[in-house]
A = this chain, B = another copy of it.
Amino acid sequence: MPEASYRKLEPVALSRVRLTGGFWAERVETTRAVTLPIEYDLCKKTGRIDAWKWAPGERHEPHIFWDSDVAKWIEAAAYSLTTRPDKKLERRIDAVVEMMAQAQGEDGYLNSHFLRVEPQKRWTNLRDWHELYCAGHLMEAAVAYHEVTGKREFLDLMCRYADYIGKVFGRKKGQKRGYPGHEEIELALVKLYRATGERRYLDLSKFFVDERGRRPHYCDLEAVERGEVPKGHRHGDYRYNQSHLPVREQTEVLGHAVRACYLYAGMADVAAETGDRELARACRRLWKNLTEKRLFVTGGVGPTSRNEGFTIDYDLPNESAYAETCAAIALVFWAHRMLHLDADAQYADVMERALYNGVLSGISLDGKRFFYANPLAVYPAMNEFSPGHVTATRQEWFGCACCPPNVARLLASIGGYMYSKGRNEIWVHLYGAGAVEIETKGQNVSIEQKTEYPWQGRVRIHVAPERPSTFALALRVPGWCRQAKVKVNGKAVALDKIIRKGYAHISREWKSGDTVDFELPMPVERIEANPKVRQDCGRVALQRGPLVYCLEEADNGRDLSDLALPRDSRLRVVTDRKLFGGTPAIVGKALRRDERAWKTGAGDGRALYRPAGSKTKSVTIKAVPYFLWANRREGEMVVWIREA
């Protein structure tokens, strides 16, 4: 077993959590029943599954990171088995694992592309070729499958691979001092360490973290070995993969956003397991830069398609926002680790923001289609003219299919993000109908949440230890909530006295039958962005509870940019049964210009410019949750609404 971690909180395992009939339970069920079968079929159809058993040279097709797609699907499927046992699904996974076992090299190497298509190129281009990235995803899948089923075969396979990687990479003579061009294995190795207790996996993770960005630059050395020009990186420089500086010296979130957030999550993991304060400080510094200057209101990260990543402070465009689904997921991973390191609700706030908005928008309500990028505004003909993956409609699949199985594995494991244990506390980070069994002080404490969160803000929590026991229940007071109230067994508790770092600590002797009523009022809020966010000046986003809202053409007609919301316009919440079966929408009065004033002469002639002073007319607008956009017909969408 691993040594004691330095982190303040320990997450409560997914297997302990039951979600019952609420918001998340529905998404978990859709993932299980719809998304996972579809994704398996697509992996099968595209050759991703069978690539493992092709003879060397048989086909040139396996994509350089196909393995990661399969791995993420297995991981998602494994989590899904905790919700509902499924022998057929297990057999599917076992069959893939068996193929991998057959494919694995004598030395432990395991990568379908480099075993089958380009064996001579193994480990020759860490910068671009994703071998360690794929290895990391396979390790995560193996750990998940082992945790859920107790089966060891996949885990053993990956330990052999990890051991082999540990021989190839290191600071001893003959070893490579390289590190992944796409980070991911760092956090995976820490999972492997936690699952096996083998310290060497943690050490290898720390090695990868610490080698990054050292001089001479490994990617340069490696390029020269290949006979290429050093620095010839297609993305201009090493900020792209966060190797421009040693990670401890980094102060700005930079480069490809998924790479970045996976790295930062891995850094937080290493800091948590080693007590490395310098590394933890680097994580907090990067977090501060992200959350104070580079985070979309939806929890999306990475503003541009050019590097699928970060640019400069306060650059948060709406139409061209990349905000990759995978990046929001990676941010959830990072936030979750920071939360456990520091026990501070600022991390849970961002985690929740990303989950309910930038992550969930990545998948259609029916679980069948996916966004790669998650723009905050959409205009006509965007599918034709927008850059890269920024589209106005969700797709069934992608050539680079990282997002679909990534969103599946997060949704399938959402229960694992809800609760933690502290030294003498039970922590509740996310609200949602369901229950959990937490072992504390040698007994099981059952916690049950009854709530319609996020649609409304009342949460009733039943606390039931086996025997009366003194501990604190630490309830997160969401950052969006300005007037939370709490009652224990019907009696009000003064919140201001018990809040520390965003959590209300209710410390008492709990006994079975105790009830906490937590009230989180959810008025509609208008949010404004820092004046340095040039794209949002003069605009507001509507938020209710954890949900960011948006205007869609389906409800508001075309030319959404011309709508302006007066400052004194009253915004009401209405529940529309025809809107996805009764989703709360926000309605209010807004202004738009009268187009008739722009006609010139006869026919369809229109002026393009004219002296200012157009008359406006009053219209009713209806905003819907951002994560639900593009689930009806294709059309315009805006998150940031102009204020009049």
Contacts and interface: CB of A to CB of B under 8 A. Distances in A.
A292 to B, nearest CB: 5
A605 B528 contact: no
A561 B540 contact: no
4 pairs of A and B residues whose beta carbons are closest in the complex = A534-B561, A526-B612, A531-B562, A528-B612
Which of A380, A528, A612 counts the most chain B CB atoms within 10 A?
A612
Contacts of A561: 534-535, 537
Nearest to A542: B612
Interface in A499-551: 525-535, 537-538, 540-541
A306 interface: yes
A558 to B, nearest CB: 8
Interface residues of A, number: 57
A208 interface: no
A312 interface: yes
Contacts of A426: none
Contact of A607 (B320, B530, B559): B530
Contacts of A468: none
A562 B534 contact: yes
Given A315-B379, A537-B562, A528 B614 contact: yes
Main secondary structure of the interface of A (DSSP, over half): mixed
Nearest to A479: B609
Interface of A: 288, 291-293, 295, 297, 304, 306, 311-312, 315, 320, 379-381, 384-385, 387, 525-535, 537-538, 540-541, 558-562, 564, 567, 592-593, 595, 598, 605-614, 642-644
11 contacts: A292-B608, A311-B381, A312-B381, A312-B385, A528-B612, A530-B598, A530-B606, A530-B609, A532-B562, A532-B595, A538-B538
B538 A642 contact: yes
Contacts of A293: 606, 608
B530 A608 contact: yes
A644 B537 CA distance: 11
Given A527-B610, A612-B528, A612-B540, A534 B379 contact: yes
Contacts of A312: 380-381, 384-385
Contacts of A562: 531-532, 534, 537
A605 B598 CA distance: 46
A558 B304 CA distance: 22
Nearest to A290: B608
A385 B315 contact: yes
A427 to B, nearest CB: 24
Contact of A608 (B291, B558, B598): B291
Contacts of A538: 538, 564, 642, 644
A598 B304 CA distance: 25
A113 B129 CA distance: 39
Nearest to A565: B612
Given A385-B304, A385-B306, A538-B564, A529 B311 contact: no
A644 B288 CA distance: 32
A375 to B, nearest CB: 13
A441 B241 CA distance: 75
Contacts of A593: 531
A534 B537 CA distance: 15
Given A595-B531, A607-B530, A306 B612 contact: no
Given A320-B320, A529-B609, 15 more contacts: A292-B607, A292-B608, A304-B385, A311-B381, A525-B611, A526-B611, A527-B610, A527-B611, A530-B607, A530-B608, A530-B609, A531-B595, A531-B598, A533-B608, A541-B609
